[in-house]
Structure 1
Amino acid sequence: MSNRIHLHLLSDSTGETLEMLAKAALAQFEDADVVRHFWPMVRSRQHLERILPELKANPGLVLFTLVNPETRERLEQACTQSGLPAVPILDRVTEALEKALGQEAHGRPGRQHAMDQAYFNRVEAIQFTIAHDDGIGWEDWEEADIMLAGVSRSSKTPTSIYLANRGYKVANIPLVVESPPPSKLFELKHPMVVGLTTAPERLVQIRRNRLLTLNEERQTDYVDNERVKDEVKFARRMFADNGWAVIDVTRRSIEETAAAVIRLYNERKARGTRQGAKPI
């Protein structure tokens, strides 16, 4: 039996939510050969009519988030005629919220992407994070929500950017044995400092791959096994001495690491105290 399917994603907004949900669901299936067809900003009957022939030519599963009744009804009608399963993926959640809140949902396309204060806060967080990457701008670290520390190639920057997209102001600092970080790092009150660590063997592998992309094949301390072990020990000792939370990123994706950081941040915020050291 073939595992190949065509997956059509139709949204009246950017489709970000739709893509994220589809990706999460597909992660539960191994070896699935999925051909994705992405149709964002479908806000008129005319636009939909241009898409319908593509659905018929590539039959598969249709997932959609359309709030306009006319557009939605036409899509469902066309899918029924072509024998295509069509799933309005937010309906059950919306219905449950309507019941719980005792009010009807507003049928406005792209409502979740409105340029409200949360949007501007997220933009500000991204700008702050980019300006405070890799130890830059230490004078402003107190303004951060989260401070990530770790040796080179321990996922500090990508994790910072991911968290910034979630609205958190993040700064990060590389820990180098020969170059102590600014004393400001040990005096921070507002930001939650989190240490990122990883298995030395994995770190060596990542660094070797990094050097290969730079066409650098010389053997250096940067990828020396014993040297890297000393770096990791140095960082872990600093985490423990300062009571910082610690997350092992060895087998974690960026999303998983960020989720762990957010959980620690929310726990700390709920307690109103500084996060103590705790390996994750």
Structure 2
Amino acid sequence: MGRNYFHLHLISDATGETLITVSRAVAAQYQGVSSLEHVYPMVRSQVQLQNAIAEIKANPGLVLFTLVEQDLAHKLEQACREIGAPCHSVLQPVMTMFQSYIGAAATPRAGAQHMLNADYFRRIDALNFTMMHDDGQQSDNYEAADVILLGVSRTSKTPTSIYLANRGIKTANLPLVPDAPLPRAIETLRNPLIVGLLASPECIVQIRTNRLRSLNASENSPYVDRFLVANEVNRSRELFAKHGWPTIDVTRRSIEETAAAIIDLYKMHKMKFISAS
């Protein structure tokens, strides 16, 4: 059975990230249906809006928008009514709830969530730190990390680290290599939360095999030997248990799910660290 497709128009006065995230989260609930995304970022003028409306006329479909400028929002809604395209403001219901609870109207600011504030620079700082401490680099500076991820090769350490960095969490990651000792500093760290990442040997072997194929390398290697990989995983599990480090099995988790679990652990870690100080 083939997939069904529909046009999805995402109109934003900022980067459009909010719309993309929300629409994909909803679209994922419908099997056999895929959206053809038309993204219009930084729509802040009548001319830009008219260009988007012309595209909607040419390819009718669902329209989602985040436009805080009411004049632009009203013109888009009117145009969609004339075209017969369902149109919905993603932010308005939430803003209405905020206004009702807070008791004050919002001050419209296009792209306000992307302003260069302290949180923005914290995330950039975290990303720089994470890139410099990827795959065991600069282990002598691990005390400055918020989180350190340990795991055998192909347990999603790097992508998870980058995701955490985008949330403002300075993350280092260190691969567990057979017969290679951990840096001594790991056992004496006070500030960072250390998390062990695990995965089933079958999953790791599959990912490693695909990696070797992409490099046109020989698959006759200890790197993908089922028995040796299982031994690696067991030894890493023993290491984590020895030190009392929390673990997360990433076998069936997405990067986002793994990161969410780590963020919860990090919040608890910070509370304990503050209480002990």
Residues 240-269 of structure 1 deviation map (CA, whole Å, 9 limit, x = unaligned)? 000000000000111111111111111222
Q: Map 1:162-177 to 2 at 5 A.
A: 162-177=163-178
**What one-letter code is carried by the residue in structure 1 that aligns with 2:159?**
P
Task: Mark the CA change 1:2 to 1:225 in structure 2 (over 3 Å): closer, same or farther.
Answer: closer
Q: Give 3-state SS (helix, strand or coil) of 2:98's partner.
A: helix
Q: Are 2:82 and 1:96 aligned?
A: no
Alpha-carbon separation, structure 2, partners of 1:193 and 1:215: 34
Task: Report how far residue 28 of structure 1 moved.
Answer: 1.1
The equivalent residue for 2:127 is 126
* TM-score where L is the length of structure 1: 0.95
The equivalent residue for 2:191 is 190
The equivalent residue for 1:277 is none
| Counterpart contact for 1:11–1:66, Cα < 8 Å | yes
Q: Give 3-state SS (helix, strand or coil) of 2:135's partner.
A: coil
The equivalent residue for 2:13 is 12
Alpha-carbon separation, structure 2, partners of 1:232 and 1:66: 49
Alpha-carbon separation, structure 2, partners of 1:113 and 1:210: 36
Q: Map 1:194-273 to 2 at 5 A.
A: 194-272=195-273
The equivalent residue for 2:65 is 64
**What one-letter code is carried by the residue in structure 2 that aligns with 1:80?**
R
Residues 64-85 of structure 1 deviation map (CA, whole Å, 9 limit, x = unaligned)? 0001121111101100111111
The equivalent residue for 1:152 is 153
Task: Mark the CA change 1:147 to 1:2 in structure 2 (over 3 Å): closer, same or farther.
Answer: closer
**What one-letter code is carried by the residue in structure 2 that aligns with 1:71?**
L
Task: Report how far residue 217 of structure 1 moved.
Answer: 2.1
Task: Report how far residue 273 of structure 1 moved.
Answer: 7.4
* TM-score where L is the length of structure 2: 0.96
Q: Percent identity?
A: 49
The equivalent residue for 2:28 is 27
Residues 198-252 of structure 1 deviation map (CA, whole Å, 9 limit, x = unaligned)? 0001111110000000001241110111110110011000000000000000001
| Counterpart contact for 2:163–2:259, Cα < 8 Å | yes
Alpha-carbon separation, structure 2, partners of 1:261 and 1:270: 14
Task: Report how far residue 2 of structure 1 moved.
Answer: 7.7
Residues 6-63 of structure 1 deviation map (CA, whole Å, 9 limit, x = unaligned)? 1000000011111111111111111112111000000011111122111011000000
**What one-letter code is carried by the residue in structure 1 that aligns with 2:250?**
V
Q: How many residues align?
A: 274
The equivalent residue for 1:76 is 77
The equivalent residue for 1:52 is 53
Residues 146-178 of structure 1 deviation map (CA, whole Å, 9 limit, x = unaligned)? 000000111000100011011100000001121
| Counterpart contact for 1:7–1:34, Cα < 8 Å | yes
| Counterpart contact for 1:45–1:70, Cα < 8 Å | no
**What one-letter code is carried by the residue in structure 2 that aligns with 1:110?**
G
Q: Give 3-state SS (helix, strand or coil) of 2:105's partner.
A: coil
**What one-letter code is carried by the residue in structure 1 that aligns with 2:75?**
R
Alpha-carbon separation, structure 2, partners of 1:99 and 1:230: 58
Alpha-carbon separation, structure 2, partners of 1:126 and 1:199: 29
| Counterpart contact for 2:191–2:273, Cα < 8 Å | no
Alpha-carbon separation, structure 2, partners of 1:126 and 1:264: 20
Task: Report how far residue 271 of structure 1 moved.
Answer: 3.6
The runs of 5 or more residues in structure 2 that have no matched partner are none
**What one-letter code is carried by the residue in structure 1 that aligns with 2:163?**
Y
**What one-letter code is carried by the residue in structure 1 that aligns with 2:103?**
G
